[in-house]
Each structure stands twice: as structure tokens, then as C-alpha cells.
Amino acid sequence: MNPLFSALPPTIFDVMSGLARKHGAINLGQGFPDAPGPEFVRRAAAEAVMHGLNQYPPMAGIPDLRQAVAGHYGRRQNLELDWEREVIITSGATEALAASFLALLSPGDEAILFQPLYDSYAPMVRLAGAKAVLARLEPPHFRFDRFMIEALITPKTKVIALNNPLNPAAVVYGAEDLTLLAGICVAHDLICVCDEVWEEVVFDGARHLPLIAMPGMRDRAVKIGSAGKMFGLTGWKVGFICAAPPLLSVILKAHQFLTFTTPPNLQAAVAEGLNNPGDWFETMPAELQRSRDRLTAALTSEGFEVLPSAGTYFLNIDLAASGVKEPDRDFALRAVAEHGVASIPVSAFYEENPVTNILRLCFAKSDEVLDEGARRLAKARG
Ligand code: PMP
């Protein structure tokens, strides 16, 4: 057996969701919305299942969706993408990440990853035979700087991964941070794997800036997106990769042996959603922002110190600043078992030297669930 996997503990998401089920708890842990997702996209999928595509689609994705992705990024992010050479469809961003790391890294290479860290990055880097070199970002701002990154670069460094907006920190990196990172990538000849699955879930009127648009990055950024996050349909697992042809052609070969294709009916529905979104990309973040504000207000009135959330489905509580003496994991385990509210301790997103005073909560839930969740968290704090 491969120790890379046999030695892995169960993920915190499995642990907390299992405990939430066992204790009949309110689940503010795992990140998926309560709402069923946009009806026009779900209808398009049903239509495609009944009357459309159900056989193997082309390996790179159905042309309609690849064109729709290029069109969407043209309209929303001013990117000019050649859909035939620069866009492919994958089975979720998870597969896109795996294909990218497997294709871009060789045994002995190094990849710089920022903690807090989405859970699949390091195992996939290691599966490629490369070393995961961990940088550490800290609350409340979770910013990186030149010194922190350059101290980790060696002649073996090939890849750096950036998740923006950042789950779980709910931070959105803007022009200043991205210019800095682009400059480092160019100076050290690095490729950046840009996990931008949360790009449409940004608040307060902000617009997502893709790293691939920064100077020097057009040929060294691999941009990853997810229809699951764009449309609040997290189980759909339809992802996209956009990159210059020399990078994408190799990534496509890894995709060929990972999943080969992605359900064509779901691809057709996502194409419909991207081509005719109506006001979805305005109402969806506006509604989530309202939920963010509601949970923030409820928690603040209970005396919790809430960190700012500029994007994603999440906000974070600073436990130490809220009068909680326990580490995040202990608090989360006690809150779910004794007070019926599940959350995610942010220490789980660190492999080494964890930050232990931050608790992540998902606010993509109904008002009643958010209000009751805040009440139960207040009881857990005592
Ligand atoms: N990256 C990040 C940062 C995520 O938060 C998620 C989903 N939670 C993914 C990747 C995976 O996306 P998908 O469901 O499309 O595989």
C-alpha cells in the first residue's frame, strides 16, 4: 500500500460531518449551500440527460462548454482565451489540481504551497514525486510577502500554488499582492497553479483579479475554476483549466488518464449557465453577502470576534480574541458533541506549525440555521 494514502488520517471534513450526523447537529462545517442551485441550470442538465448527451464526450470537454468558459472569462475578467488551445474541462477543480501538479512536476522538484492549505494540494504534489514546501500565512490578514516566498525558493522550485480567494481565510488577494507574486514567478521562472474556484463568490462590489492577467503571467499561470462554486452546485464536479498551450497540452495528457472525461450532460448545463446567466453573478454573491452579514452580526452580538470575509462561503472567528482558551480543534469537537453545532478548526489546514485559534464557519445556510448556529456557539463558549 502507498503510505502517502494509508498514513493519512481521515479529513477534518469527514470527522466533523460524521459527528454532525451522529449528534444531529447544525452543520456550519462543510462548505456547501442549503439552496438547491439555480433552476435554469438544473433544468438544462435534466434536459440534457433526457434528450441530449449521455455518451463519452471529447476528452478536452464539449466544445460548447470550452467556448462558454472562454466567453465568460472574456466578459468577467477581460481575458482573451483561445478555447481550442487554452481551455479544457475536468471533473471538478480537484481533478484539475491533480492533473496540473502531476503534469508540471517531476520527481525531485519542489512546489511552494501556502498554509492554510486546501487538503488535496500536498498529497498530489507528493504523488508527483515532488516536495511540498510550506509557507505559513497568519490571521488576521493571511498576506504573503517577498521575503517569505523567496526564502523558500531553491533551484528545484518549479511551481507555486495560489488559492485566491483563499479558503478557509476568506481573503481576496488584489493587485498589489498579485503583482508581487507575478514578479517572483517571472524572476525565478516559476509556474503558478492558480486555484480560483471562488472567483465569483466575492463581496462588497469587488471583482476577482486573475493572476494570469498580471504582467509576465500569461504563459506561466494555470488558471483553475469550478462550476460547482460558480453555480452553488458543489456536487457537480465540473472544473476548468485555462493555460497557454505549452502548459495545457501536457496537463491534458495527465487528465487523459485521471478521468478522461466529465459527464457531458452536466457540461452542457454549465455551458447554458455561463452563456445565459441572467443576473445570477450579481444575485448569488449579494445573497451570500447578506448571509455573511447576518451571521457576523449574530456572532458579534454574542461577543465573538469575527474576522473580515471578502469572499467564499466562509467567515472565521478568532477564538482567543473571543475569550475561548481552548485550541480550535478541542472547541470544535466539544461544540458539536455537547452543543450541536459543527464547524471546522482552521488548524486542520496547516500541516506544520498550525494556527490554533481560528474557527471556520460556512454561512451559505438559511437565516434560521445561521441564527441557531450562533446561539449554540455562544453556549459552547460558555
Ligand atoms: N479548491 C478549493 C480552494 C476549494 O475550496 C474546493 C472546494 N471546496 C476545491 C478546490 C474543489 O473544487 P471541486 O468541487 O470543483 O473539485
Give residue-wise pLDDT tens across range 116-155: 999 999 999 999 999 999 999 999 999 999 999 999 999 9
195 lines ligand 1 (CB under 6 A): yes
Determine how β-strand 221-226 pairs with β-strand 191-195.
Answer: parallel
Residue 350: exposure state from Cβ atoms within 10 A (0-12, 13-18, ≥19): middle
Is 328:367 a contact under the CB 8 Å cutoff? no
Last residue of a domain, one of 241, 275, 309: 275
**Residue 197 C-alpha to ligand 1 middle, in angstroms?**
6
Contact 339, 331 (CB under 8 A): no
Q: Which atom of ligand 1 is nearest to the CA of 163?
A: 3
- pLDDT band for position 8 (cuts 50, 70, 90): confident
**Cα-to-centroid distance, 195 and ligand 1 (Å):** 8
Question: Does residue 53 register a pLDDT over 90?
Answer: no
pLDDT > 90? residue 52: no
* 180 close to 215: Cβ distance less than 8 angstroms: no
Q: DSSP secondary structure string, 137-161?
A: --TTT----HHHHHTT--TTEEEEE
Distance 93 CA to ligand 1 centre (A): 6
At residue 9, the pLDDT reads 87
3-state secondary structure of 362: strand
pLDDT value of residue 346: 98
**Residues 212, 75 share a domain:** yes
Mean pLDDT of the chain: 97
* Span 158-217, pLDDT tens digits: 999 999 999 999 999 999 999 999 999 999 999 999 999 999 999 999 999 999 999 999
- Domain final residue, candidates 233, 252, 275: 275
Please tell me the predicted confidence (pLDDT) of residue 382.
Answer: 82
CB-ligand 1 contact for 355 (6 Å cutoff): no
Buried b / exposed e along 104-128 (16+ C-beta atoms within 10 A): bbeeebbbbbbbbbbebbbebbbbb
Residue 158's CB is within 10 A of a number of other CB atoms, namely 18
Instruction: Verify that 181 and 308 share a domain, yes or no.
Output: no
CA separation, residue 271 to residues 63, 92, 98, 194, 236 (Å)? 9, 15, 23, 22, 13
CA distance 198 to 227: 10
Whole-model pTM: value is 0.97
Specify whether the backbone of 174 is left (phi greater than 0), alpha (psi in -120 to 50) or beta: beta
Q: Is the CB of 197 under 6 A from ligand 1?
A: yes
Q: Across residues 91-119, what is the average pLDDT?
A: 98
> Which of residues 212, 246, 275 is at a domain's end?
275
Mean pLDDT, residues 220-249 taken together: 98
Check if 33 has its Cβ closer than 6 Å to any atom of ligand 1. no
| Enclosing domain of residue 306 | 3-30+280-381
Mutate to test the pocket of ligand 1, among 118, 119, 194, 202 (most ligand atoms within 8 A of CB): 118
Q: Is the CB of 118 under 6 A from ligand 1?
A: yes
Which 8-state DSSP code applies to residue 344?
Answer: E
Which residues on adjacent β-strands are paired with residue 320?
none
Same domain, yes or no: 10 and 86: no
210 and 62 share a domain? yes
**∠ CA(144), CA(129), CA(356), 5° rounding?**
40
At residue 323's C-alpha, the angle toward residues 321 and 329, to 5°, is: 85
| pLDDT tens digits, one per residue of 9-41 | 888 889 999 999 999 999 999 889 989 999 999
Overall number of domains in the chain: 2
The DSSP bridge partners found for residue 240 are 89, 225
254-292, pLDDT tens digit by residue? 999 999 999 999 999 999 999 999 999 999 999 999 999
Q: Tens digits of per-residue pLDDT, 56-81?
A: 999 999 999 999 999 999 999 999 99
Q: Are residues 52 and 182 in the same domain?
A: yes
Are 341 and 377 spatial neighbours (Cβ–Cβ below 8 Å)?
A: yes
